[in-house]
Chain A
């Protein structure tokens, strides 16, 4: 219940630097050190175009990680984010390409599909008392299959919807500052992260999110309908994944039905590197963003250094373990 108390502190900025400040500082320092290390190791690393490539690579994983953070804070886990992303992209494809409806409807359909699937997962977890790991594992497989069924196992291209690829690839910033063509997909990531951080710290929903993760029984005993709040959080996470699906589909100008498996683990890795506790009750969106950036910088940096691909995965895995271990050690000390 401590999280509930701290999150009722009035100042938004103060809270941002309170609970997880130390952790975020550490993660941020790691990110900066990685950037400096790679810049020294290769003159090709620190270029505007490469930094933009890193941000672009972060965009989808970042959005998925933000969604995963919400569920993890409640003490649950969402394994379906990867295939749900694909499912939402396929829904957008069906609405825009197969049915030929206008762009806004496709966007709404994708987000609604995400919210609905999140609602289902949430109901399985809250009402039917299926452990989140199993409930979302089931959803992961259902959605993977449905994506293939609905799309007829072929990718759906958005060639008939001009402007769809601009959702992710266009650059509003680039039109104002031509030297900084940051793609819209990255803006969407920061926008989603900002809104989610606001929900977590400023709304009742956010407060219950932490409360459920800290001590669900206590919340229930104080007369709160915990099931309803939990379902709402899963649905919110699902709609965020829907946005991720749109960013992905727009980036590839196609809905790729075979994609998605494995993306949930990368999202969870980003969340954990960002200092969110897998046992729930504690976590920040800023941390998750930094975690997602660390993953992307690491992958890109190792590639730019031409490290053999076999070793890239080994190093990435080791970094995840070390990052989380360092966090554990620090926590035990404090």
Chain B
């Protein structure tokens, strides 16, 4: 009895301390961002972008996302908690393009504008979506892959998931471009590793075992691309790797030449544009339905150009 009281008391005290620093910010507009992921460097870069915009427009932002990019229900619980905080607007990157719609309707009914970022939802509720044109970005990856392997041979794709917009668009963008423009290239395998480095590594090794004549692999997000790099290293294979996104490990892989190059989005820009769109919406200004935040191809020759270096993140 004695012990339990103490414990809860202590937890309560911690909670009070943590809540103390929020009280001062209550008069600012509050915009929580509910992301698709949290710990990967990509999401941390989105977070940095949102904080940059928060400073510039004098609003309060928080950034949360499920630990694992498949946890649809956790994300809905996060939306519910965000709604309880009576925010001015909510930024949202959907894990599943449909499952969250009932919750979004509730938010909509409460008169709170929703700004989608990264992954859109199959709904008219979001005021706008700040995102990369993933189909076009993955098609560019396919072009670069074809160029690097000489326009013929077997390639494989490892993607993060098959439920989110980005997962679907990147696989489709890559596979469709190969199918339509490069008849001599065959996509032998498309596998999903949940964006997990280790799982993607294992998948890579098994694909390499099954296809010893493989010419190249495309890793469709940061975790998948690092998995491909690790798998190729462990299997001591020699193939062309095209990655997606940046992050310290991927930048290093490009610099060292093990990865031919990668597509980078502009995650800082995604975070920034999301908060900016929220502020503009709250001020009654109109925003376009899609905010294209852009993408670039980088390799070891151009990665230090100021334009590219600005969108790469560690």
Contact = CB atoms under 8 A, between A and B. Distances in A.
Interface string B12-55: 10111011001000000000100000100000000000000000
Given A252-B72, A256-B72, A323 B7 contact: yes
Interface string A27-68: 001100110011011101101011001001100100000000
Contact of A53 (B22, B38, B77): B77
Contacts of B63: 309
A288 interface: no
B123 to A, nearest CB: 13
Interface residues of A, number: 55
A256 B84 contact: no
Interface of B: 1, 3-5, 7-9, 11-12, 14-16, 18-19, 22, 32, 38, 62-65, 67-68, 70-73, 76-78, 80-86, 96, 98-99, 101-102, 161-163, 192, 194
A309 B102 contact: no
A37 B12 contact: yes
A220 interface: no
Contacts of B77: 53, 56-57, 299-300
A256 B15 contact: no
A262 interface: yes
Given A29-B4, A155-B96, A165 B102 contact: yes
B11 A251 contact: no
B96 A38 contact: no
B194 A258 contact: yes
Contacts of A319: 7, 11
B64 A309 contact: yes
Interface string A262-278: 10000000000000000
A254 B16 contact: no
B222 to A, nearest CB: 18
A129 interface: no
A-B pairs with lowest CB-CB distance, top 10: A53-B80, A37-B12, A303-B81, A258-B70, A50-B84, A252-B99, A326-B3, A326-B4, A322-B7, A33-B8
A256 B76 CA distance: 14
A96 B163 CA distance: 20
A21 to B, nearest CB: 13
A248 interface: yes
Contacts of A41: 12, 15-16, 19
Contacts of A248: 73
Interface string A309-333: 1010101000100110110011000
Contact of A251 (B4, B15, B62, B73): B73
B22 A305 contact: yes
Given A258-B70, A330-B1, A37 B15 contact: yes
Contact of A258 (B64, B85, B161): B161
A291 B42 CA distance: 35
A153 B3 contact: no
A5 interface: no
A41 B19 CA distance: 7
A322 B76 CA distance: 28
A307 interface: yes
B73 A325 contact: no
A262 B68 contact: yes
A315 B7 CA distance: 11
Contacts of B192: 153
Contacts of B67: 313
Given A311-B18, A326-B4, A254 B99 contact: yes
A254 B68 CA distance: 18
Nearest to B77: A57
Nearest to B17: A41
A304 to B, nearest CB: 5
B163 A155 contact: yes
B4 A323 contact: yes
B237 to A, nearest CB: 25
13 contacts: A37-B12, A41-B16, A42-B85, A50-B80, A50-B84, A56-B77, A252-B72, A256-B163, A258-B163, A262-B68, A300-B84, A307-B15, A326-B4
